[in-house]
Amino acid sequence: MNLREQLKEMEGLRLKPYLDTEGHWTIGYGCNLDEGITQDEADYLLTNRLRKATQEVDGALPWARSLNPPRFAVLVNMAYQMGLGRLMGFRRMLAACEIGDYKMAEAEMLDSRWAREQTPERARVLATQMRTGAFPS
């Protein structure tokens, strides 16, 4: 046994936030969320979740890799934000992307609760990126 293994055993693993015995939100192996996380930890989470979102888009939409990188990035960005299930609910937008009708894809993205109420600025930027096929400058 070493310190790492001992801590894992004593702290236990919880993959969802929970209140510890002192009333602090905690996750993982006893990591107190009240203290926040470091930049390195945030970057690690981003990298892993970005990888997951990319794999999900690849698996669900095999044609998506034929899009140019900025357009493919829109789909991954949306999957990252809302989850693959909600992205797949954008059926008309996805159908328009698949056939290369990016103006229609943009319109479908903007004709959503996501664009009107949830994250309108993000939706506007991503819809423009889908139409133009270029990252914002």
Over residues 50-78, mean pLDDT: 98
Count of residues in the chain: 137
Cα 26 from Cα 74, distance rounded (Å): 33
Return the sign of the alpha-carbon dihedral for residues 46, 51, 54, 56.
negative
pTM over 0.85, yes/no: yes
Record: fold of 39-132: Lysozyme (1.10.530)
> Which tokens is 130 given?
């889908």
Q: What is the radius of gyration, based on Cα positions, of the chain? A: 19
What was the pLDDT predicted at 45? 96
Burial 85-94 (b: 16+ CB within 10 A, else e): eebeebeebb
What was the pLDDT predicted at 84? 98
Band (pLDDT 50/70/90 cuts) for residue 36 is very high
**Residues carrying CATH 1.10.530.40, the chain:** 39-132
Q: Torsions phi, psi of 42, nearest 5?
A: -65, -45
What was the pLDDT predicted at 127? 98
Q: Cβ neighbours of residue 127 under 8 Å, at least 6 residues apart?
A: 105, 106, 109, 110, 115
Band (pLDDT 50/70/90 cuts) for residue 69 is very high
Over residues 104-108, mean pLDDT: 98
What was the pLDDT predicted at 92? 98
